[in-house]
Structure 1
Amino acid sequence: MTPPQDIRTVRRRYVTVCLLFWLPPGLTVAPLILLLTERGMTMSAIAGFFAAHSLTAAALELPTGGLSDVLGRRVVLAAAGLLNLAALALEGLGTAPWTLGLGMVLMGAGRALSSGPAEAWYVDTVHAHCGPGAELRTGLARGASATSAALATGTLLGGALPWLLARAPGFGSRLSEATSGLVVPLSTPLLLGAAVEIAFVLYVLTALREVPRPRVTPREALRGIPTAVMDGLRLGGQDALVRRILLSAGAAGSACAAIELLTPGRAAALTGASESGAVLFAALACAGFICSGIGSHLAPLTARLAGSSERAVMVSLGTSASGLLVLGATTVSTGAGAMVTAVIGYGLVYLGLGAAGPSENHLLHGRVDRSSRATALSVQSLALQLTGALTGLIIGVLPPSPLPWLGAGAVLLAGALLWMPRPARGGIGPLEAGQALTDSPRTRVPGP
């Protein structure tokens, strides 16, 4: 049995939005830190830029989530694309520290605006067609796989393009001279990402049709945001399951910060040059995102084999934590064997994070309604951003050693242990009842 044509259209549009939105960030993965280094920024300054990004996203997560719940998903997604367009232009062309810092702040604002609306639009639309008991994990997994595919493609292209331009006879120097040094090989992927953002904004405005919602005036919208924010803040305090989801998101933020900050320098040290380091890091990151996409695709199967979404999250985060610990253990080793082991650990990190996400969000959407859905996703992203910012600041002052890797791995392992099965206390409680409902085969709409 296949889902109705309109549901397949909804899934396809959600996947397309995920692809277009995450391709530009993928293009920046390999060259950004190396570009900032080439612009004369120290590691401490770069860590400060990333902290500014994370703290901006954290500060705006709840207000922008409330804005999406009050005004609608489409307008907020379009605004996110415009902010990212400006941020990528500043990062690609800027040379002064304040310009680069402003670009990171705008990128953080765009991240905050985008953290919930697309997924909330998908869930709203599916519920409107199939009811609140509709199966969501398949569509969420496909969206996560599309995100990983976009990041993998962008990362590979973003790492290869500067290398190809630098190797072209005289092209890199002529390009830099013609633009007074503003455009260099490492900056071209960011400018390409800015062009993709234009396509993203146009697609969002033309393809996403929202479920009708009550019309509100600008004054009513502004009054509704604090209410939505307070509802989001109360989620973690009132619901133990949601609290575990938020703590797990924080643990994942620590892992992501360690990977993003430490791997580019490790790759450049191995190759001996920034451009070749970007190529190696691009290949690693591409492989990581492919592993994340595989993990996301396997999330429904993982949940079935584990017996529940909660156990699937525990297994997935445990797998990711083991990968980080392997990466930490191999920092003091050299040779082909250590490199192969490190690559395996890197893949395990992304495989586990990819498998955990759809099950976590499937659980989350079973606990919130449409009026606070984007806000709940923003709270989840807030936990990730705050922990990532704190981890980044700590890594920025630590000397090169296995400690940052092992510390992030320990945090993620603690996040996995939160999902260990709890002893039954005489009968099924409300959390178990909710889990039984959301995981029941009778509530699923079979995928194609």
Structure 2
Amino acid sequence: MNPTTARRRFAAVTFFFWLPVGLYIPSQVLLLTERGMGLAAVAGLFAVHSLTVSALELPTGGLSDVLGRRPVLAVSGLLNLGALLLLALGGSLWVLAGAMLLLGSGRALSSGPAEAWYVDTVQASAGPGAELRTGLARGGAAAAAALAAGTLAGGALPLLAGLLPGPGVRAATSGLVLPLSVPALLGALVCVGYIAYVLTALPEPPRPPATARSVLRGVPSTVLAGLRLGTGDALVRRLLLTAGATGAALAPLELLAPARAAGLTGGAESGAVLFAVMACTGFACTGLGSHLAPRTARWAGGSGERAVLLSLAVSASGLLLLGVTAHAPVATHPFALTGAATGYALVYLGLGSASPNANELLHRRVDGSVRATALSVQSLALQLTGALAGLAAGTLPTGPLPWLLAGGALLTAALLWLRAANTPPGAGDSVRLQVVSAAPAHRAAPACDTGQS
């Protein structure tokens, strides 16, 4: 498969995976509260999701490197399908916890195989030195577009379902289906299409037939190789710390913004609409940042390290701006609304630009035998830190403090790249590629003493 086709299919499978997520994001917190869950319980359910992802990240990444990308992606779609059905219809805490468990399992299985498939396919076609940043940026833009479109639809659907003539969705189903359940049900339908696309559009080179013995032997060794990435390579360690800071930064946004939107509008369904607009704006900024990622690297003199530094600084400034405007009343301080909207956009714009540049640095550092595992290690850092930060944000008093702490975490991550950014662009790239291509199976390339590490 030529790189252009691989890039297009990678963008498509990314879009189909994230569209259901976008559909249920605006209504998720509000649906849980409508089912009688308090904010602490909602934070606990989010922690179940994040901790499940954290526990399964490395084993599922190793599973993808052993079994192949396509079967793992298909199973992730099946788990997400079951999770969304439980989330839409479940009414008890234990059922909803089960939904979060399935959702976290599906997320863990999906965090890496599609991107690993794209990189493997391009490098098999164009060689190990093939250009990757553009395809990674388009994948990020496709994810952002799916989330933006999904949040708009997911925010409007509960309101439209409540306006239908007749007894209404709630009364017709004896309370089993609420108007806020409709986006999750539609997301489950999209999951069916996602599974079909994965099975038909992502061919892989033949692998040795997998047996229980080969999986039991191959997955642990691949997981150990992934764990060694963060201890034996300074660049990978910096990338993992950056992922952790990103999780800490996103936690207050995901937990506190929906309740704030509902408080401003005075109702759950109308709050979902407002938060959908906010989330859509954020995802659109993420897509714009991803689209600009190659250009950001060029603005930074061709250095991916400098591009990550600049992008994280932009996101940190956005969170600090959100913190400064947290308590200012909108009626008497018009700057509060403008400043908060600007800060919200800057957070996602910077993160969208940072991700493709950071991931290209990661793919240059590892070979195909451990690629999905490396992405799982990165996602593990984000999810685990996000779970802990989310629990902390749920206990902190509302106001500037959660936003300022999140901004400080991203600013610290940006400072980690100062030393790497002072290295002349391009130094050591050819050496690193030679080391990657010569790395033995199930091992990441060792750190090169080039100054960039």
Q: TM-score range by the shorter chain?
A: over 0.9
Distance across 1 between alignment mates of 2:276 and 2:398: 21
Name the residue aligned to 2:371. Answer: 373
Residue type matched to 2:115 in 1? Answer: E
Which deviates more from structure 2 when the two are superposed, residues 115-124 or residues 175-184?
Answer: 175-184
Distance across 2 between alignment mates of 1:211 and 1:334: 59
Shift of the alpha carbon at 1:166? Answer: 2.0
- Is the aligned partner of 1:416 residue 2:411? no
Name the residue aligned to 1:353. Answer: 351
Alignment equivalent of 2:18, drawn from 14, 19, 22: 22
Name the residue aligned to 2:263. Answer: 269
Contact 2:248 2:406 in 1 (8 A): yes
- Deviation per residue, 1:370-402 (Å, 9 max, x gap): 000000000000000010000011011112121
Extract unaligned runs of 5+ from structure 2: 434-453
- Deviation per residue, 1:55-77 (Å, 9 max, x gap): 00000000000000000000000
Contact 1:56 1:108 in 2 (8 A): yes
Residues 370-409 of structure 1: matches in 2 within 5 Å?
A: 370-409=368-407
% identical aligned pairs: 62
- Is the aligned partner of 1:318 residue 2:313? yes
- Is the aligned partner of 1:80 residue 2:83? no
Alignment equivalent of 2:137, drawn from 123, 126, 141: 141
Name the residue aligned to 2:56. Answer: 60
Contact 1:73 1:118 in 2 (8 A): yes
RMSD: 1.7
Distance across 1 between alignment mates of 2:134 and 2:377: 23
Residue type matched to 1:297 in 2? Answer: H
- Deviation per residue, 1:297-327 (Å, 9 max, x gap): 0000000111200000000011001111111
Distance across 1 between alignment mates of 2:317 and 2:97: 34
Distance across 1 between alignment mates of 2:143 and 2:3: 20
Distance across 2 between alignment mates of 1:368 and 1:399: 42
Q: Aligned to 2:195, what secondary structure does the other structure show?
A: helix
Contact 1:124 1:211 in 2 (8 A): no
- Cα 1:174–1:303 change in 2 (3 A) is same
Name the residue aligned to 1:445. Answer: none
Residue type matched to 2:411 in 1? Answer: L
Please report the TM-score for the alignment, with normalisation by the length of structure 1.
0.93
Residue type matched to 1:179 in 2? Answer: T
Name the residue aligned to 2:2. Answer: 6
Residues 241-256 of structure 1: matches in 2 within 5 Å?
A: 241-256=235-250
Residue type matched to 1:347 in 2? Answer: A
Please report the TM-score for the alignment, with normalisation by the length of structure 2.
0.92
Name the residue aligned to 2:37. Answer: 41
Which deviates more from structure 2 when the two are superposed, residues 115-124 or residues 258-267?
Answer: 258-267
Distance across 2 between alignment mates of 1:109 and 1:424: 40
Shift of the alpha carbon at 1:418? Answer: 0.6
Distance across 2 between alignment mates of 1:392 and 1:424: 34
- Deviation per residue, 1:337-380 (Å, 9 max, x gap): 31121111100000000000000000000000000000000000
Shift of the alpha carbon at 1:211? Answer: 2.6
Contact 1:311 1:421 in 2 (8 A): no
Contact 1:159 1:282 in 2 (8 A): yes
